[in-house]
Amino acid sequence: MPNDPYKKLPKIAVPSSSSSAPPWIELPGELTANILRRLGMIEILISAQKVCTTWRKVCQDPFMWRVIHMKNPGHHRVAYNLKNLCHQGVNRSQGQLIDIHIEYFGDDDLLHYIARRKGLIKALQNLPQLEELHLSVMPLITARDIETIHTTYPALKSCTTLKMNMRTKKLFILLVNKVKEKLKMSNNPYKKLPKIAVPSSSSSAPPWIELPGELTANILRRLGMVEVLKSAQKVCTTWRKVCQDPSMWRVIHMKNPVHDRPVGYNLKNLCQHVVNRSRGQLIDIHIEHFGDDHMLHHIARRSSKLNRLTLACCYRISSKGLIKALQKLPQLEELHLSVMPLITARDIGTIRASCPTLKSFTYMKT
């Protein structure tokens, strides 16, 4: 519970027929407003303001509506018109509105009503004192729109965008906590980290933005390459910059989670994409349960500094394709092959000869 001067409130009872007046009428107006705000804006407009004239007067005070937080509890359909209720709240503020949070409802018309302009960018032009803008899961607003917003409204001191699902949030927090436990056991400049939590509507910016880039990269690597490409890099601009850094992709470990069966994305394309992002800095790659000769050739062409190559259960990579790729890897020192049906014991000698720099070589048939 937050520290509140009205934490210890008198016990309120429903008035009986013999009582002269409801006991809540005797409460100070400021305290009544404080209590009503905890009900939520929708509850106030739908029912609380209809209880008595005292509460109605409090609910009509513009000061009551300086901060508006409205959320569609059912995400889609509800029994009342949220846009109209939001209009009422804005009207009651009489120009004193300083903070508004809208979630799971609304459109350009509503935003136009709030700011007297159409669309988000034009709305910002009509808000001269706006210092903070936070957008979360807004499918009609793209990265290009964010750049336009920054250009159109340079007075913004804080602007955050969040495009992450709850699963990724929880996974990130879990990983951060694990990293914190490991850092406590070692001498590390990032030993004392702030507590990471899912950002709430009252937070000015997601707390992970404050983490050092090196630590952020360390955490993201633990998600796995596929998770980074499919989800994590879309969370915010800070994470995207980290994910585009070539040093992030010096070590690549990719595995088909359902073995040789198809998944909901193209693993070969993702693998080629991350190899491109490494910009020739790739030194270690592990591929398991997917891939073919064409993908292996792409890796060899783009990764002349590759030091270690591990292939496991890659049923479409042939001995001819492997030998051709090895000839393009002058710095390869370690090669590990496991369950490669198109590579036989007879090919081992040719493989060794095509890569004279090898210091470690393993071959497992089963």
pLDDT band per the 50, 70, 90 thresholds, residue 317: very high
Phi and psi at 205, nearest 5°, equal -160, 150
Interval 291-317 mean pLDDT: 93
State yes or no: pLDDT of 309 exceeds 90: yes
117-162 pLDDT tens trace: 334 555 666 677 777 777 765 655 666 666 666 666 666 777 666 6
Class of domain 245-364: alpha beta
Cβ(126)–Cβ(116) under 8 Å?
Answer: yes
Residue 197: per-residue pLDDT: 44
Find the largest Cα–Cα distance for the chain: 103
Residue 192: per-residue pLDDT: 44
Residue 207: per-residue pLDDT: 56
The CA radius of gyration of the chain, in Å to the nearest whole number, is: 30
Torsion sign over Cα 207, 213, 218, 223? positive
20-40 pLDDT tens trace: 556 666 677 777 887 787 777
The more confident residue out of 12 and 265 is 265
DSSP one-letter code for 100: E
Interval 32-55 mean pLDDT: 81
Domain boundaries for CATH 3.80.10.10 within the chain: 245-364
Residue 346: per-residue pLDDT: 85
State yes or no: pLDDT of 81 exceeds 60: yes
E strand or H helix that includes residue 308: strand 308-312
DSSP one-letter code for 26: G
As a whole number, the mean pLDDT across the chain is 75
State yes or no: pLDDT of 187 exceeds 90: no
State yes or no: pLDDT of 329 exceeds 90: yes
* Spatial separation of the C-alpha atoms in residues 329 and 293, rounded to whole Å: 15
State yes or no: pLDDT of 235 exceeds 50: yes
Percent of the residues in the chain that have a pLDDT greater than 70, as a whole number? 65
337-351 pLDDT tens trace: 998 999 988 888 888
